[in-house]
């Protein structure tokens, strides 16, 4: 399966020291994998873990697990039936302990499970634990939408799949829901134009989830550096990311010209970001909302 090999190879290139062993349970609704310590590239210039890289790592694990020999969520069956999924919405949450205890040599235990099934979507939750007590310090909830490979149009989950995996759910529909409502953009925002490079895309040349988060972080960094924010008097990098909610509205691809706009929210240490195509400024491609800790943890610079 070509897609299987591409998913695994890309993951191994990112973590060459990893002897890839993704453990999927017999019901195919849970997985876990132990990652080696963070790479040098996973640490930002302040000495702290780089949020978008951690987010990217977890998404790579989930994607690779879909095409594992023991396929997570029997995704191989969906793919053979000419279906594929993409992440429509996401919530990333970090505890302060992640910044206080994580070191490059500390193994990371990553676990993912299915928590919700809709008519044309399913929800997974991934948790990342580090340190001796192995208590989760990162939690990522992804809402996956099923589409047809040929035209990428949303489609209903197969009844056999829905029936099988609904029986395994532990959470009810209320707790597994993930709703992201974009805030209205103010008249004055910090704008940055760029083109999507190839390495920011997946095997279909569509922009990857983690790339959008990086665009958000980079634009916030630039806005802070140029004194755009009123409530962040020092530097964006003096604060650690606590939570990010994201909504993927429409796709972008390799070479697309995008415009990233960032502004401060009403709540302290809250930022918003809206990304659109340059030639279609009124059509949102991606939206994100970020909340930061007011305290500084771990290393100081």
> Which tens digit of pLDDT belongs to each residue from 171-200?
655 556 678 889 999 999 999 999 999 999
Task: Let me know: does 108 contact 126? Beta carbons within 8 Å.
Answer: no
pLDDT score for 135: 81
Distance CA 36, CA 199 (A): 23
pLDDT above 60 (res 201):
yes
Structure tokens at 225: 């550096």
Sequence-distant (6+) residues with CB within 8 A of 114 are 29, 30, 73, 122, 123, 124, 165, 168, 169
Residues 159 and 262 reside in one and the same domain: no
Q: Which residue has the higher pLDDT, 14 or 111?
A: 111
Distance CA 276, CA 193 (A): 10
- The last residue of one of the domains, among 118, 145, 177, is 177
Which of these, 112, 108, 111, 100, lies nearest to 130 by C-alpha position?
A: 108
β-pairing verdict for 83-94 and 241-248: antiparallel
Residues 41 and 166 reside in one and the same domain: yes
Residues 171 and 193 reside in one and the same domain: no
Residues 184 and 167 reside in one and the same domain: no
pLDDT score for 112: 97
- The last residue of one of the domains, among 177, 211, 237, is 177
Residues 139 and 65 reside in one and the same domain: yes
Residues 133 and 188 reside in one and the same domain: no
- The last residue of one of the domains, among 177, 210, 230, is 177
pLDDT category of residue 235 using cuts at 50, 70 and 90: confident
Task: Let me know: does 196 contact 252? Beta carbons within 8 Å.
Answer: yes
Looking at the chain, the whole-number percentage of residues with pLDDT higher than 70 is 85
Query: Structurally, how many domains does the chain consist of?
Result: 2
> Which tens digit of pLDDT belongs to each residue from 17-64?
555 688 999 999 999 998 877 776 777 777 777 888 889 989 989 998
Residue 77, domain extent: 1-177
Global pTM value: 0.88
pLDDT above 60 (res 236):
yes
Backbone φ and ψ of 213, nearest 5°: -60, -40
CATH code assigned at 192: 3.10.129.10
In what order do the strands lie in the sheet containing 121-130?
23-24, 30-35, 108-117, 121-130, 136-148, 83-94, 241-248, 280-292, 270-277, 257-264, 190-195
Sequence-distant (6+) residues with CB within 8 A of 51 are 92, 94, 213, 217, 241, 244
Residues 238 and 213 reside in one and the same domain: yes
Residues 84 and 207 reside in one and the same domain: no
Work out the burial of residue 31: count CB atoms within 10 Å of its CB; fewer than 13 is exposed, 13-18 middle, 19 or more buried: buried
Residues 113 and 216 reside in one and the same domain: no
Residues 88 and 190 reside in one and the same domain: no
Residues 32 and 170 reside in one and the same domain: yes
Residues 101 and 234 reside in one and the same domain: no
């Amino acid at each position: 399966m070509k897609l299987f090999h591409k998913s695994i190879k890309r993951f191994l290139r990112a973590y060459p020291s990893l002897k890839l062993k993704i453990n999927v349970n017999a019901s195919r609704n849970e997985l876990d994998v132990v990652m080696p310590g963070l790479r040098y590239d996973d640490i930002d210039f302040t000495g702290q873990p780089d949020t978008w890289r951690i987010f990217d790592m977890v998404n790579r694990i989930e994607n690779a697990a879909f095409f594992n020999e023991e396929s997570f969520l029997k995704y191989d069956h969906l793919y053979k039936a000419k279906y594929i999924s993409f992440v429509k919405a996401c919530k990333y949450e970090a505890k302060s302990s992640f910044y206080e205890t994580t070191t490059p040599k500390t193994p990371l235990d990553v676990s993912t499970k299915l928590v919700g099934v809709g008519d044309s979507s399913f929800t997974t939750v991934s948790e990342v634990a580090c340190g001796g007590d192995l208590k989760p310090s990162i939690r990522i909830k992804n809402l996956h939408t099923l589409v047809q490979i040929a035209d990428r149009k949303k489609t209903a989950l197969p009844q056999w799949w829905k029936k099988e995996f609904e029986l395994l759910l532990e959470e009810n529909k209320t707790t597994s829901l993930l709703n992201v409502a974009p805030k209205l953009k103010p008249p004055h925002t910090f704008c940055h134009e760029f083109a999507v490079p190839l390495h920011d895309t997946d095997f279909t040349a569509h922009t990857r989830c983690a790339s959008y988060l990086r665009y958000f972080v980079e634009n916030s960094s630039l806005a802070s550096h140029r004194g755009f924010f009123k409530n962040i008097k020092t530097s964006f990098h003096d604060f650690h990311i606590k939570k990010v909610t994201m909504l993927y509205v429409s796709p972008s691809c390799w070479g697309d010209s995008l415009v990233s706009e960032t502004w401060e929210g009403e709540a302290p240490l809250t930022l918003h970001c809206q990304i659109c195509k340059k030639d279609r400024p009124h059509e949102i491609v991606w939206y994100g909302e970020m909340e930061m800790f007011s305290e500084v943890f771990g290393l100081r610079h």
